[in-house]
């Protein structure tokens, strides 16, 4: 029995359980080649002694780091200001809370290519990765394809979708139902503030906007690109009003961009929805605080992140995981901006 002044050792666990030291080690570090009786005896000894495995020693046995990476190839200020990214971080942390796994956050420094992140993932520092907010040119998709590292994307990849595991919301359908809401409201000159076209969410939401307008026989030329941030939304709204002064509605591909658009519309003396209606996308807390409350499309981030984390833990443990994407359905949330 250990004393109060020293932590219990693996030898003491083995002695208390009546097994060899190597058997005790295997039982504590994964149960490989250990009989059910020996496993139960070691588990009881660990509980009785209050034994805590040494993480470094355990890693030598299991060849695991007991940590996973959340990869966000964006500057750190975006983590603090973007509700999708901050919600993703909270969701992964909550999903890992019942486990002993540590979370490593990998972000991009300003003006930095994702090469540093790719090198880190290839170096064996983590057991797996959840990747979100990825861009076409950041090489993360190629890095995952070329590596045995288990990884799950939150958001549709650009390439090799049949070989990469991912979860997403149906962004095409989300863009379509947002635009259809405006069409059904009688608006006929409907613009969009698109997301970045080097991100699949931006591409897909723009596609949904075009689908709805073309099906209704309405023009689809009023497009200004944003960056999923409020400042980008404001700049895009300025551009749209200058180029298309006849617009009567706007689909903004994120609520933050809609927030920037509302500021510009007020500054230009435009009432919402009297002069210009606005519909956003995300519903992650920003929409309800706007005036008027924003009509938007629900982006189920918490559910997506929980699903992605569960899939990653299955991959790490060697359990079977479907290669088919898990795609969530969007939902229109009605406000007063349309």
Task: Determine contact, residues 233/186, Cβ cutoff 8 Å.
Answer: no
- What pTM was estimated for this model as a whole? 0.80
**What are the strands, taking DSSP E only, across 170-243?**
190-194, 223-225
Question: What are the tokens at 159?
Answer: 């390439």
Pairing of strands 296-298, 331-333: antiparallel
Q: Lowest-confidence range among 1-10, 78-87, 224-233, 301-310?
A: 1-10
What is the distance between the alpha carbons of residues 132 and 140, in angstroms, rounded to a whole number? 10
What is the distance between the alpha carbons of residues 114 and 135, in angstroms, rounded to a whole number? 10
For residue 249, list its beta bridge partners: 190, 277
For residue 113, pLDDT beyond 70 = no
- Looking up tokens 């969007």 gives 330
DSSP class of residue 178? H
Region class of 155: left (phi > 0), else alpha (psi between -120 and 50), else beta: left
For residue 337, pLDDT beyond 60 = yes
What is the distance between the alpha carbons of residues 152 and 313, in angstroms, rounded to a whole number? 10
User: Which tens digits make up the pLDDT trace of 119-175?
Assistant: 888 878 899 999 999 998 888 888 888 888 999 999 999 987 788 999 999 999 999
Based on the number of CB atoms within 10 Å of its own CB, is 73 exposed (0-12), middle (13-18) or buried (19 or more)? buried
For residue 110, pLDDT beyond 60 = no
């Amino acid at each position: 029995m250990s004393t109060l002044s020293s932590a219990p050792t693996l030898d003491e666990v083995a002695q208390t359980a009546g097994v060899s030291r190597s058997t005790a080690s295997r039982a504590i570090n994964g149960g490989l080649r250990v009989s059910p009786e020996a496993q139960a005896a070691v588990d009881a000894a660990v509980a009785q002694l209050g034994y805590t495995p040494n993480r470094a020693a355990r890693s030598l046995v299991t060849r695991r780091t007991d940590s996973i990476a959340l990869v966000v190839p964006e500057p750190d200020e975006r983590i603090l200001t973007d509700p999708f990214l901050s919600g993703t971080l909270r969701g992964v942390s909550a999903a890992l809370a019942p486990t002993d796994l540590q979370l490593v956050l990998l972000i991009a420094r300003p003006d930095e290519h994702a090469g540093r992140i790719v090198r880190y993932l290839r170096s064996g520092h983590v057991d797996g990765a959840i990747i979100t907010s990825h861009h076409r040119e950041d090489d993360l998709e190629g890095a995952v394809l070329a590596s045995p590292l288990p990884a799950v994307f939150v958001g549709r990849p650009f390439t090799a979708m049949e070989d990469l595991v991912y979860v997403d919301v149906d962004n095409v359908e989300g863009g379509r139902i947002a635009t259809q809401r405006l069409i059904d409201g009688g608006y006929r000159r409907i613009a969009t503030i698109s997301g970045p076209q080097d991100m699949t969410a931006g591409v897909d939401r723009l596609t949904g906007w075009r689908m709805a307008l073309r099906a209704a026989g309405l023009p689809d030329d009023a497009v200004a690109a944003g960056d999923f941030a409020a400042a980008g939304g404001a700049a895009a709204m300025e551009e749209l009003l200058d180029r298309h002064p006849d617009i009567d509605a706007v689909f903004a591909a994120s609520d933050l961009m809609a927030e920037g658009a509302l500021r510009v519309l007020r500054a230009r003396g435009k009432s919402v929805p009297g002069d210009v209606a606005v519909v956003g996308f995300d519903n992650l807390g920003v929409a309800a605080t706007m005036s008027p409350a924003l009509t938007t499309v629900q982006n189920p981030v918490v559910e997506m992140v929980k699903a992605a984390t569960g899939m990653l833990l299955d991959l790490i443990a060697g359990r079977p995981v479907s290669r088919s994407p898990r795609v969530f359905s969007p939902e229109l949330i009605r406000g007063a901006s349309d």
